[in-house]
Amino acid sequence: MNTILRPHAEVEFAEELALLAAQDTTQRRPEGWRLSPQAVVTYILGGKLPNGQPITPKYYGDRRLVEIAVATLVTDRALLLVGLPGTAKTWLAEHLAAAISGDSSLLVQGTAGQSEDALRYTWNYARLLTEGPSPAALVPSPVMRAMQEGKLARVEELTRMPSEVQDSLITTLSEKIMPVPELNTEVQAVRGFNLIATSNDRDRGVNELSGALKRRFNTVVMPLPASLEEEVLIVQRRVDQLGAALDLPPGATPVEEIRRLVTIFRELRSGKTEDGKRQLKSPDSTLSTAEAISVIHSGQALAVHFGDGTLRAGDLAAALAGAIVKDPSRDQAAWKEYLETVVKTRAEWKDLYQKCRELG
* Per-residue pLDDT tens digits for 287-338: 888 889 989 988 888 888 888 888 889 999 988 888 898 888 788 889 999 9
What is the pTM for the complete model shown?
0.89
- Largest separation between any pair of C-alpha atoms in the chain: 75
307-332 core/surface letters (b: 16 or more CB in 10 A; e: else) = beeebbbbbbbbbbbebbbeeeeebe
Percent of the chain with pLDDT over 70: 96
Residue 288 exposed, middle or buried by CB count within 10 Å (0-12, 13-18, 19+)? buried
Determine the residue type at 165. V
* Per-residue pLDDT tens digits for 192-230: 999 999 998 766 668 889 999 999 999 999 998 888 999
Rounded to whole angstroms, how far apart are CA atoms 39 and 67? Answer: 11
Q: Where are the beta strands (DSSP E) in the chain?
A: 47-48, 54-55, 78-83, 107-109, 121-123, 138-140, 152-156, 177-180, 185-188, 194-200, 217-221
Find the helix or strand (DSSP H, E) in which 212 lies.
helix 211-214
Percent of the chain with pLDDT over 90: 66
* Per-residue pLDDT tens digits for 225-244: 888 999 999 898 888 877 76
Domain edges within the chain: 9-221, 228-358
Q: How many residues does the chain have?
A: 360
At 250 the pLDDT is 65
Confidence of residue 275 (pLDDT cuts 50, 70, 90): confident
Task: Quote the DSSP letter at residue 29.
Answer: P
What's the whole-number average pLDDT of the chain? 91
Class of domain 9-221: alpha beta
47, β-bridge pairs: 55
Determine the residue type at 140. P
221-234 core/surface letters (b: 16 or more CB in 10 A; e: else) = ebebbeeeeebbbb
